[in-house]
């Protein structure tokens, strides 16, 4: 278990934990109700987080070669 | 013949063309058919994964659910996102193991990994029981989509059968009994989905 893998817990915290606090309609962000914006934001952030993990994961370095 | 129909038929013809074309110069065996001779590139796997997650549920079920229920439909975005996070560790491990042992299917994996034929049979049975209603629902959904897209010119039943057409050249050209069986399965699925679908509609009307 590498410390960088702990990053993968963030989407779970953000989506499953944060949803209780983000559960509101106002304010609208980019035309979306706040809760929808919150989830979409986390979908995008998850991609970023997984890209970071992929970059630092040694398993992918061996496979690439 | 409206424009939507033309688009649908062009896509159907294109799918048929690709299906016939794909066999050229290939020795068709089970490995070719199930996993493309293990030669899929990154982009193709990415597109396959996209096709896997954007089903008729995305277009009909998801939007219908959001329209009817509102907020709870946001779970669709959430679970897909979190499932892929877990897949990052799960799927490559399975993929490496399967490549190493030249496995073809889910049940192959369980037979090999847990060294148990019984478990493999059990997994296959569960998969069939789970997949029949799932695929029946997908075909029914596809049928409705094509029917609506053709402004009702093509009925949903005909459309669902039409969805099977790309499988046809494969089936006719190949003596492989497994593929013939698969095609028959799909036809049965269409029949099942419309028998049960028709039943549901009748029940709704009588209620």
- In chain B, what percentage of residues exceed pLDDT 70? 67
**Per-range mean pLDDT, top range of B15-24, B35-44, B72-81, B129-138:** B72-81
Lowest pLDDT segment from B71-75, B144-148, B176-180, B197-201: B197-201
Residues A39 and B74 sit within 8 Å (Cβ to Cβ): yes
Q: Chain A within 8 Å of B47 (Cβ-Cβ)?
A: no
pLDDT at A4: 80
The larger pLDDT score, comparing residue B11 to residue B33, is at B11
Query: CB under 8 Å to B16, separation ≥6 — which residues?
Result: B165, B166, B168, B169
* Residues A18, A19, A24: CA angle, nearest 5 degrees: 120
Distance of alpha carbon B129 from alpha carbon B115, whole angstroms: 23
Among B128, B104, B129, B109, smallest CA distance to B119 is for B109
A 10 A CB-CB count for B200 gives 10
Each residue's pLDDT tens digit, B45-80? 888 888 778 777 777 778 888 888 887 888 888 888
- Residue B92 makes CB contacts below 8 A (sequence gap 6+) with A59
Do the Cβ atoms of B82 and A59 come within 8 Å? no
Cβ contact A8–B85 (<8 Å): yes
What average pLDDT does the structure give for chain A? 83
How big is chain B, counted in residues?
207
Q: Is A32 on the interface with B (CB under 8 A)?
A: no
Choice between B167 and B107, residue whose per-residue pLDDT is larger: B107
Composition of chain A by helix, strand, coil, percent to 5: 75, 5, 20
Q: Which residue among B71, B74, B81 places its CB closest to the CB of A11?
A: B81
CB spacing of A11 vs B82 below 8 angstroms: yes
Q: Which residue has the higher pLDDT, A45 or A7?
A: A45
Nearest to B99 by CA among B55, B35, B47, B142: B35
- Mean pLDDT of the region B163-188: 59
pTM of the full structure:
0.66
Query: In terms of pLDDT, which residue wins out, B53 or B24?
Result: B53
């Amino acid at each position: 278990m590498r410390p960088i893998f702990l990053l993968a817990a963030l989407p779970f915290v953000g989506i499953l934990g944060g949803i209780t606090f983000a559960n509101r309609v106002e304010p609208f962000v980019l035309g979306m109700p706040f809760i929808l914006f919150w989830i979409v934001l986390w979908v995008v952030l998850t991609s970023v987080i997984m890209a970071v993990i992929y970059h630092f994961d040694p398993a992918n370095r061996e496979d690439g070669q | 013949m409206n424009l939507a129909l033309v688009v649908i038929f062009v896509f159907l013809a294109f799918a048929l063309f690709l299906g016939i074309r794909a066999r050229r110069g290939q020795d068709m065996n089970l490995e070719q058919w199930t996993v493309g001779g293990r030669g899929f590139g990154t982009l193709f796997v990415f597109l396959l994964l996209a096709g896997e997650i954007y089903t008729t549920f995305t277009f009909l079920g998801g939007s219908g659910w959001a329209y009817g229920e509102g907020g709870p439909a946001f779970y669709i975005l959430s679970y897909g996102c979190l499932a892929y996070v877990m897949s990052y560790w799960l799927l490559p491990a399975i993929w490496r193991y399967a490549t190493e042992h030249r496995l073809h299917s889910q049940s192959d994996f369980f037979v090999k990994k847990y060294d148990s034929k019984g478990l493999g049979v059990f997994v296959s049975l569960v998969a069939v029981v789970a997949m029949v209603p799932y695929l029946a629902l997908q075909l029914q959904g596809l049928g409705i989509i094509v029917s609506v897209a053709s402004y009702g010119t093509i009925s949903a039943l005909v459309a669902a059968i039409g969805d099977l057409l790309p499988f046809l050249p494969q089936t006719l050209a190949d003596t492989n009994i497994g593929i013939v069986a698969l095609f028959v399965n799909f036809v049965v699925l269409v029949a099942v989905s419309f028998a049960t679908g028709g039943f549901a509609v009748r029940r709704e009307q009588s209620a």
